[in-house]
Structure 1
């Protein structure tokens, strides 16, 4: 689950603790423009301050169920659900299996919809199922998808019963998986990017899952891109029940990483363990090297809570410059929008603001 891009290739050799040169007046101006007007964002059960023009994209997983949310009017939601219903009912299996298996309102509730299908019209059997569940709430369409199996009611099972291709112990977890998705989507709420909840729960882009951090498996992934410097991005990943194989500072000392850094013509700007103003102890690495588009850029990374638990989720925060993302195509990047000094200053302003959201846990 660890990121293995050029972050891991561009860190800690012999320059641990290297100092950044003083900013020029022009660099100070750029940094002021980026950091004077920052806005707090809710990510997972934490808060972090980002430039006001940072644009988000992301999703979440709760107990293995992927969740996304998108701003949408109720009329748009109803129209989209009608289109989806028609599309799925008209889809035919290339091998003649029944493609559309079930659908309707989720537990009879308004502004909800669910579908159970084969998921793939070219599927070689009808055992695998895809459950889609939708809900409109507070101006957002919430979308959940989960895979399931039903070899008990599958045509494939009946067709090949008693043959070498038969299913010896048929199972059906569609009811359990549907119940899980229904229970989750009943709880989840739509949420605007400006809204900072005051009750326990987890934020993701466009949504909020209320509840104390007890045992539920939570995985939050969010990316932010600066609207006026689209090669500059931040990414957040948090895992409530995942333990890292090793620490960031230990991993980057490997011979593989040293060779990769050399190949990327890079250098370490700074690395080590720091205590943030919130009291959180984190490991960080800042480096400069050739990016995937073969121009000099920067990668800053922070990790903490390596043992990952509901109350102390494993966190990975990254910043990249001169790298493609959901707003910047690779062929549009000619150079980094930020100098090394500007990149470090922006990273320091953002990373130092990381703190638990009050009452989040």
Structure 2
């Protein structure tokens, strides 16, 4: 009987720890985890907050939806850079406008793809250009803002010549964006150093974080009103592993958890091929009452595979390249035969214990900010209305900034 009870106990233990082999962490692993998790930085994450190791960096973008029916409209918001001076903002806009203006639209008698550039102040400039050379009445409208030292870009499209409502929405939204410190973000959707206090109906965002020059990466996907998955994450992870990994994977841990105050589930797996090993951790929330303050949140941590290259500490961050429309990005990418070869894949720089400990610390820190959803319109959304002097100065500076196009001919931005 005792042998039978011991055997049953072993089976229960095995079921609790999954398919992984129980192993006590070494003292070095404990020290590494302590160094990574004892100094954490708080980031604003949509309607919530998250703590990450202090040396991690990241960013993201969000698409705001106005209306939930077939006639809804959207605005994309992206933080292009932080610590941006007025001079760098001016230079980036000049390069962007020149590159777009240099491209001609062959379907419309080779007119410039850049339709207009309008300035309210030096910190608030709107560009309008053709979305492509294929559709003559579809335009892209970009509102470029310098909010303190944060360079923010708003982007929306108009169709069939219906331009005025899009421009009006961008103007209104531009006055609802504020620079904040993460713990004091208050009401609104937080995106890095800014908070968006807009009365929109839906928000879908993606955030990316990683340590410097590392094989480790964290991705966070937020969809406020998306319904929860009906099939458990563990079951979907197993199905995906069977299909894409041919069953060659390790189930490190699968369990139900609480994430941002909501029921959630996690699935942690490791897998290998002939060249290297990788780990992939996933976690997501489940809730019956989706809302802006109870969003669907999906977290994915990966380690192993391709390692990011070290960044030059003296390099100036490019404020133009990654956000240009495709038709204006010619010349940035090297020809295929001149591009460096992809580096060889690497094994995870974190042990399973280290990765799981960091993962646990990160997920436990995620919380929804108190009063992150304002019951009424933000009362301070109008405080940055520019004066007549500021408008005049903005027009003068913008005229000088964009006075000459790439062909040497002057083209002038229109006033508001």
TM-score normalised according to structure 2 size: 0.68
For residue 167 of structure 2, give the secondary structure of its aligned residue in structure 1: helix
* CA gap 1:220/1:255 in 2 versus in 1, 3 angstroms: closer
For residue 30 of structure 2, give the secondary structure of its aligned residue in structure 1: helix
2:176 is equivalent to residue 187 of structure 1: yes
CA deviations over 1:150-181 (Å, ceiling 9, x no partner): 3xxxxxxxxxxxxxxxxxxxxx3222222222
Equivalent residues of 1:114, 1:132 under 8 A apart: yes
Distance 1:313 1:218 in 2: 9
* CA gap 1:85/1:259 in 2 versus in 1, 3 angstroms: closer
**1:147 is matched with which residue: 157, 161, 179?**
157
Distance 1:268 1:128 in 2: 49
**1:281 is matched with which residue: 259, 263, 269?**
263
Structure-1 residue corresponding to 2:118: 104
**2:186 is matched with which residue: 199, 204, 215?**
199
Structure-2 residue corresponding to 1:52: 54
How much is the aligned-residue C-alpha RMSD, in angstroms? 2.8
* CA gap 1:44/1:266 in 2 versus in 1, 3 angstroms: same
CA deviations over 1:263-282 (Å, ceiling 9, x no partner): 4x211111121235x64321
Deviation of 1:88 (Å): 3.3
Equivalent residues of 2:44, 2:185 under 8 A apart: no
Structure-1 residue corresponding to 2:144: 134
TM-score normalised according to structure 1 size: 0.78
2:84 is equivalent to residue 94 of structure 1: no
Distance 1:288 1:81 in 2: 45
Distance 2:117 2:32 in 1: 53
CA deviations over 1:210-233 (Å, ceiling 9, x no partner): 25xx752112211111126x1111
CA deviations over 1:115-170 (Å, ceiling 9, x no partner): 111133xx1341221111111111011112222223xxxxxxxxxxxxxxxxxxxx
Question: Aligned ranges for residues 337-356 of structure 1 at < 5 Å?
Answer: 337-356=349-368
For residue 231 of structure 1, give the secondary structure of its aligned residue in structure 2: coil
Gaps of 5+ in 1: 1-13, 151-171
Q: Which is worse superposed, 329-338 or 295-304? A: 329-338
Gaps of 5+ in 2: 1-13, 66-73, 311-340, 374-416
* CA gap 1:79/1:250 in 2 versus in 1, 3 angstroms: same
CA deviations over 1:230-270 (Å, ceiling 9, x no partner): 1111111111122245344365166454343444x211111
Equivalent residues of 1:15, 1:270 under 8 A apart: no
Structure-2 residue corresponding to 1:302: 283
Equivalent residues of 2:281, 2:302 under 8 A apart: yes
Distance 2:57 2:275 in 1: 25
Equivalent residues of 1:242, 1:314 under 8 A apart: yes
Question: Aligned ranges for residues 25-40 of structure 1 at < 5 Å?
Answer: 25-40=27-42
Distance 2:49 2:272 in 1: 31
For residue 201 of structure 2, give the secondary structure of its aligned residue in structure 1: coil
Distance 1:21 1:266 in 2: 18
* CA gap 1:327/1:296 in 2 versus in 1, 3 angstroms: same
* CA gap 1:219/1:256 in 2 versus in 1, 3 angstroms: closer
